[in-house]
A = this chain, B = another copy of it.
Amino acid sequence: MRKPREEMIAETRAKLIAAGRCAFGTVGYAEASMDDFTAEAGLTRGALYHHFGDKKGLLQAVIQQIDAEMTARLHTISAGAPSRWEGFVEECVAYIEMALEPEIQRIMFRDGPAVLGDVSQWPTSNGCIAALSHSIEQLKDDGVMADIDTETAARLINGASSHAALWIAKSETPEETSKRAVRGFRTLLDGLRVKA
């Protein structure tokens, strides 16, 4: 065994992140007891403080992981679309739909911003904003999208998406509400499209 040491460490970190992610995603950040979910991972709070400094540090790590996954998913979706505009719209819709998943919603859109401030502000873990910005930039180059500041557009869309997701998730009829939201969202985006 060449370097089993570092592997063990990485594994410990991964186990802590996984346990924290699970706890944060289900009972929420504030109600998640560090003693409890570290024990579930077969460890103690000592390990957590050693690797992440404090509870917020673990949350950061969890968010970073989730953000990376979301960014990857968005990328594959936009890449597989027939046109760039289509890809962009599908990306936005996918963003709403991802925000519907309880874990993503809770961690990325509720507890994350509340505990750490505007998550998309730090250089790390703003992959989703960056992905949206990239798409918008391309569309502007293609002359398909109206003249609007790229980052602003990305953030407005991001905000609309996440709130829509919250709305849907809390709705009594998520299915129907989701359809209404996506439909309205398409209309909103269509307003930004340059008409032929």
Interface residues of A (CB under 8 A from B): 30, 110-111, 113-115, 117-118, 120-121, 146-149, 151-153, 155-164, 166-167, 169-170, 180-181, 183-185, 187-188, 190-193
Contact = CB atoms under 8 A, between A and B. Distances in A.
Contacts of A153: 184, 188
Nearest to A185: B156
A184 B192 CA distance: 10
A84 to B, nearest CB: 18
Nearest to A112: B114
A152 B183 contact: yes
Contacts of A159: 159-164, 166
B117 A114 contact: no
A166 B148 CA distance: 19
Contact of A155 (B121, B148, B163): B163
Contacts of A158: 163
Contacts of A161: 159
Contact of A111 (B114, B118, B149): B114
Given A155-B163, A155-B181, A159-B161, 4 more contacts: A149-B184, A155-B164, A159-B164, A191-B193
A131 B16 CA distance: 45
B152 A180 contact: yes
Contact of A156 (B152, B170, B184): B184
Contacts of A30: 30, 115
Q: Which 6 A-B pairs have the closest CB atoms?
A: A191-B191, A159-B163, A152-B184, A114-B114, A156-B160, A160-B160
27 contacts: A30-B115, A110-B117, A114-B114, A114-B115, A117-B170, A118-B167, A118-B169, A121-B170, A146-B187, A147-B187, A149-B180, A152-B164, A152-B183, A153-B184, A153-B188, A156-B163, A156-B185, A157-B160, A159-B159, A159-B161, A159-B162, A159-B166, A160-B160, A160-B163, A163-B163, A188-B191, A191-B193
